Amino acid sequence: MTLRTLESLGDLAGKRVFVRCDFNVPLSDGVITDDGRIRAALPTLKALLEAGAKVVTSSHLGRPKGEPEAAYSLAPVAARLGELLGSPVAFATDTVGSSAQETVAALENGQVAVLENLRFNAGETSKDVAERRAFAEQLAQFADVMVSDGFGVVHRKQASVYDLAQILPSAAGTLVAHEVSVLERLLEAPEAPYTVVLGGSKVSDKLGVIDSLLPRVNKILIGGGMAYTFLAAQGYAIGKSLVETDQIDTAKGYLAQAAERGVELIVPVDSLMAESFSADAGFENAPSENLEGTSFGASALGLDIGPATAEAFAEAIRSSKTVFWNGPMGVFEFPNFAGGTKAVAEALTQTDGLTVVGGGDSAAAARTLGFADDQFGHVSTGGGASLEFLEGKKLPGLEVLGWA
């Protein structure tokens, strides 16, 4: 079966369309600091508005506990969406209550409304199927059809993602359809040389994706905190750097499997070792064979890949035809330890081939360091969902749309 897309819904003029978006944007004192996920929703929303639909959209934001929390209101999202669309966007101050009912009833063809944070209702994320279904039924009263366009949640069996798509005629929006198309290429038809760049703090977070991609790739580059587990697996002293001692044998297994398959699994040859975990900590570069050879000794803490590693990683990326990147190379939030992540991001922009940034911290890091989304082949809007897709897992929010 193939993914149902917007075309399968037919003529939408005058119809009420519920669009499940991913507006889970970062906020600072109520101000959106990165509107990338709102911008990503625009193609689908514009297509529906141009078709003459009445568009009702909503999302989760943060992790409220099934009841309203002002800090997680979608009000700033509705305001920003109106700015980006260049037309007013109505905002309902609840999910399925009187405000939502009145707001939806007042919609004209070609207009859009945003309902309040779906997770303000406990039914959205409930493990109780009946409770979840009941909330989905309430949402269904606002629409004739449903469009799923929040890729960041398709790995979750939630009311607005899974149950609602069973109740109403449903299809994937352009964002979800494009995400699936790109990620499928990484699994089924990658052009060689194919390089995967993995970072972030924990090896345990990446086990599934390494298992899935190692047989498919030519090179795997390991950075971030997870690199020190691999270095420890090679017998290096790593000071007080982050390490998952229970994953050292796993890392040894990956090193052996890569060698057996002829895959280059490249770990850092040097690191920026700091005296403490802080933005202004003193730091020195050290080779992997002697990470404790700095003035900080055994208390040294690895916070970024070193310059030689950054250049080696960049060269491996630039010489590839397919690159998937997930996870920063260091503590990019601290300027002194952002160099490795910046080198990786810059190399992706210089690559003649398909480059995919795997959402989450990787996308945030790239934007923080001054890169625009259109400098990459594709920036995923779903970190966890992207990884689970590449791991080969069944994603309920896609299966309910016909994907198998």
Binding site annotation covers 54? no
- DSSP H helices in 108-194: 129-140, 164-167, 174-188
- Taking the C-alpha atoms of residue 162 and residue 169, their distance in angstroms, rounded to an integer, is 12
Residue 96 and residue 139 in contact, taking contact as beta carbons nearer than 8 Å: yes
Binding site annotation covers 361? yes
Binding site annotation covers 206? yes
Binding site annotation covers 261? no
Other beta carbons less than 10 A from residue 129's beta carbon: 11
Binding site annotation covers 63? yes
Q: Is there a catalytic annotation at residue 321?
A: no
Task: Name the catalytic one among 97, 293, 384, 402.
Answer: 384
Distance linking the first and last C-alpha atoms of the chain: 6
Binding site annotation covers 156? yes
Task: Name the catalytic one among 202, 216, 318, 321.
Answer: 202
Q: Which tokens in the block code for residue 119?
A: 């997770």
Residue type, position 30, single letter: G
Task: Name the catalytic one among 360, 382, 383, 397.
Answer: 360
Binding site annotation covers 224? no
Q: Which of 190, 131, 132 is nearest to 163 (CA)?
A: 132
Name all contacts of 123-128 with Cβ < 8 Å and 24+ positions apart: 123/159, 124/60, 124/66, 124/158, 124/159, 124/160, 125/66, 125/156, 125/158, 125/159, 126/159
Q: Is there a catalytic annotation at residue 360?
A: yes
Calculated CA dihedral for residues 74, 61, 123, 88, nearest 10 degrees: 20
Binding site annotation covers 333? yes
- Taking the C-alpha atoms of residue 368 and residue 332, their distance in angstroms, rounded to an integer, is 9
Peptide bond into 88 cis (omega under 30): no
Binding site annotation covers 336? no
Binding site annotation covers 360? yes
Q: Which tokens in the block code for residue 17?
A: 């369309």
Binding site annotation covers 24? yes
Binding site annotation covers 184? no
Binding site annotation covers 62? yes
Q: Is there a catalytic annotation at residue 252?
A: no
Q: Is there a catalytic annotation at residue 37?
A: yes
Question: Which residues, at least 6 apart from 246, have a Cβ–Cβ distance to it below 8 Å?
Answer: none
Binding site annotation covers 402? no
Task: Name the catalytic one among 37, 80, 132, 219.
Answer: 37
Element (H, E) at 196: strand 194-198
Binding site annotation covers 22? yes
Q: What are the binding residues for ATP?
A: 206, 302, 333, 359-362
Binding residues: 22-24, 37, 60-63, 119, 156, 206, 302, 333, 359-362
- Catalytic residue numbers read 37, 202, 360, 384
> Could you tell me which residues are annotated as the binding site for (2R)-3-phosphoglycerate?
37, 119, 156
Question: Which residue ranges are tagged as binding site for substrate?
Answer: 22-24, 37, 60-63, 119, 156
